[in-house]
Amino acid sequence: MTAPATTSHVTIFAADWCPFCKKLRQRLDRTETPYDLVDVEDDGMDDVNEWIKSVNDGNRIVPTVLYSDGTHATNPEASAVRKKLRELTGEE
C-alpha cells in the first residue's frame, strides 16, 4: 500500500482520544519541532487508516509517523523523531 502524500518531513497520524499521541505532540511542541498533524478520525481518512494498518500488522495504531523519505515509525519517542528530522534536513 502506498503511503499518504505529504509535504512535510514529519507527519503524525493521530487521534484526539489517544494519550500517546498527546504526549508525543507535547514533547515535540516543547522543542518547537515542526510536523504536520493528520487526525485519523476525520471523514475521508479510510485510505490513511488502511495505510496505518498496513504498516502495523493489521492494527490501526496511533501515533504512526511518516517521514519524507518514506520510512515510518509507530509510537516513537520524541527524541527519535527529532533525530530523524535532523537526518532528513541535513542538520546535525
Residues of the chain with pLDDT > 70, as a percent, come to: 99
Signed CA dihedral, 28, 31, 37, 39: sign only: positive
Sequence-distant (≥ 6) Cβ neighbours of residue 25 within 8 angstroms: 12, 14, 37
Sequence-distant (≥ 6) Cβ neighbours of residue 46 within 8 angstroms: none
Q: Which domains does the chain have, with CATH numbers?
A: 11-79 (3.40.30.10)
Please give the pLDDT value at position 13. 97
Q: pTM for the complete prediction?
A: 0.93
Per residue in 16-52, pLDDT (tens digit) is 999 999 999 999 999 999 999 999 999 999 999 999 9
Please give the pLDDT value at position 5. 86
